[in-house]
């Protein structure tokens, strides 16, 4: 979320001249102020590192992940079963329509209704999987860089209420020219540390 206007940030590709990094911005066309951008990878790293560090310190979260509800797996299986039924139902409606046994309008109504139900079902499955994600993540040692996109998304959805990004700090340099005495790698490391500090000052994470 944009710290200037409160709008949600959307992703965009930074141009070739800016080394093709993915970014987030507060875009005017989605109702934002248009005055804020942030590097996606650096923001993601900061958010995960911070949340995981507090997770390791926070006994309440650790307890939550240790409490394995025995009904959990059964409920998850039940929801997955419901989902499969609905998908089968939609397939049947479509094939009845193709065979000329169901009017198009009725098929469309059924499919729309099924899709609405599927959406709410998916939401419930996701939130249950989120709990599993947390237990699995803690068991694996919380190495978030090795996680796939859906595990990352579930993890953040489970633990983070909001990430607010503010403008680059006033008076802090945006670029660091390479010193003659330093190597390319040393310069890159210095830039990353500087960017990281910029992100640290700009970002507020509200956990659940
Ligand atoms: Zn904004």
What distance in angstroms lies between residue 36's CA and the mean position of ligand 1's atoms? 6
- The yes-or-no verdict on residue 47 having pLDDT over 70 is yes
Q: Confirm whether 5 is domain-assigned.
A: no
pLDDT of residue 122: 80
What distance in angstroms lies between residue 38's CA and the mean position of ligand 1's atoms? 12
What distance in angstroms lies between residue 127's CA and the mean position of ligand 1's atoms? 29
What distance in angstroms lies between residue 167's CA and the mean position of ligand 1's atoms? 10
Q: What percent of the chain has pLDDT over 90?
A: 53
Q: How far, CA to CA in Å, does 164 sit from each of 2, 50, 158, 168?
A: 6, 14, 17, 13
What distance in angstroms lies between residue 50's CA and the mean position of ligand 1's atoms? 23
What distance in angstroms lies between residue 135's CA and the mean position of ligand 1's atoms? 35
| Under 8 Å between Cβ of 36 and 26 | yes
What distance in angstroms lies between residue 42's CA and the mean position of ligand 1's atoms? 19
What distance in angstroms lies between residue 119's CA and the mean position of ligand 1's atoms? 30
What distance in angstroms lies between residue 88's CA and the mean position of ligand 1's atoms? 44
Residue 52 belongs to domain spanning? 10-207
Q: Confirm whether 84 is domain-assigned.
A: yes
With 0-12 CB in 10 A as exposed, 13-18 as middle and 19+ as buried, what is 72? Answer: middle
Q: Confirm whether 76 is domain-assigned.
A: yes
Q: Confirm whether 61 is domain-assigned.
A: yes
- Number of domains the chain is built from: 1
User: Tokens 């947390």 correspond to what residue?
Assistant: 134
Q: Confirm whether 2 is domain-assigned.
A: no
Q: What is the pLDDT of residues 154-206, one digit of tens each?
A: 788 878 889 999 999 999 998 899 999 999 999 999 999 999 999 999 999 99
Q: Confirm whether 152 is domain-assigned.
A: yes
Q: Confirm whether 4 is domain-assigned.
A: no
What distance in angstroms lies between residue 77's CA and the mean position of ligand 1's atoms? 42
Q: Confirm whether 201 is domain-assigned.
A: yes
| pTM, two decimal places | 0.66
């Amino acid at each position: 979320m944009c710290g200037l206007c409160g709008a949600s940030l959307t992703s965009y590709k930074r141009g070739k001249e800016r080394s093709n990094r993915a970014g987030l911005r507060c875009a005017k066309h989605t109702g934002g102020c248009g005055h804020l951008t942030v590097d996606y990878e650096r923001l993601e790293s900061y958010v995960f590192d911070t949340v995981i560090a507090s997770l390791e310190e926070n006994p309440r979260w650790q307890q939550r992940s240790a409490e394995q509800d025995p009904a959990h797996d059964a409920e998850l299986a039940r929801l997955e079963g419901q989902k499969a039924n609905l998908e089968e139902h939609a397939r049947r409606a479509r094939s009845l329509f193709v065979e000329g046994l169901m009017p198009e309008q009725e098929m469309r109504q059924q499919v729309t209704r099924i899709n609405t139900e599927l959406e709410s079902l998916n939401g419930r499955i996701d939130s249950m999987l989120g709990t599993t994600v947390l237990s699995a993540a803690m068991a694996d040692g919380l190495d978030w860089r090795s996680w796939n996109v859906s595990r990352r998304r579930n993890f953040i959805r489970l633990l983070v209420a909001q990430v607010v990004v503010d403008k680059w700090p006033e008076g802090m340099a945006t670029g660091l020219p390479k010193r003659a005495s330093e190597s390319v790698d040393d310069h890159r490391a210095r830039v990353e540390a500087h960017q990281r500090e910029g992100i640290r000052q700009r970002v507020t994470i509200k956990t659940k």
